[in-house]
């Protein structure tokens, strides 16, 4: 399993548009082959910082999504709303407690 974390710093004027885009596409992303979990988190101390947390069956599923038309259309719109470069991490589940 791959856990993908993407932390995004939004411009204040872009928050509402970002949330609209996310809400319009969350079901399609969540139902993309290989995606088993999708969650949007808001930073507790900064209302302009959001993080997506997604689980993928494997690296090939994540890569297929990143090369998909869905990703291209969503990412192409949201990246214009960022105030700084995103931070993205792919993690492998190692130990479950």
Tokens 């959001």 belong to residue:
50
Please check the confidence at residue 87 and state whether its pLDDT lies above 90: yes
Domain boundaries, position 83: 2-91
Give the total number of structural domains in the chain: 1
Does residue 97 belong to any structural domain of this protein? no
Where residue 74 sits, what CATH number does that domain have?
3.30.70.100
Give me the pLDDT at residue 29, please: 97
Distances from the Cα of 88 to the Cα of 13, 48, 52, 96, angstroms: 23, 17, 9, 22
Q: pLDDT for 29-70, tens place per residue?
A: 999 999 999 999 999 999 999 999 999 999 999 999 999 999
- How far apart (Å, rounded) are the C-alpha atoms in residues 38 and 29? 8
Residue 65 lies in a domain: yes
pLDDT of 72 over the 90 cut: yes
Compute the mean pLDDT over every residue in the chain, rounded to the nearest whole number.
96
The per-residue pLDDT for range 4-20, each reduced to its tens digit, is: 999 999 999 999 999 99
Task: Give the span between the Cα atoms of 51 and 88, in whole angstroms.
Answer: 9
Q: Is residue 39 part of a domain?
A: yes
Domain assignment present for residue 62? The answer is: yes
Give the tokens for residue 47. Answer: 């209302």
81, part of any domain: yes
Is the residue at 30 inside a domain? Answer: yes
Q: Give the pLDDT band of residue 95 (cuts 50, 70, 90).
A: confident
In a domain, 96, yes or no: no
């Amino acid at each position: 399993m791959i856990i993908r974390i993407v932390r995004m710093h939004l411009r204040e004027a872009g928050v509402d548009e970002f949330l609209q885009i996310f809400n319009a596409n969350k079901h399609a992303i969540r139902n993309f082959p290989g995606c088993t979990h999708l969650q949007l988190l808001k930073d507790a101390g900064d209302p302009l910082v959001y993080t997506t947390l997604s689980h993928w069956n494997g690296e090939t599923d994540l890569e297929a999504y990143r090369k998909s038309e869905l990703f291209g259309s969503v990412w192409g719109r949201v990246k214009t709303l960022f105030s700084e470069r995103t931070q993205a991490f792919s993690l492998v589940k190692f130990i479950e407690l």
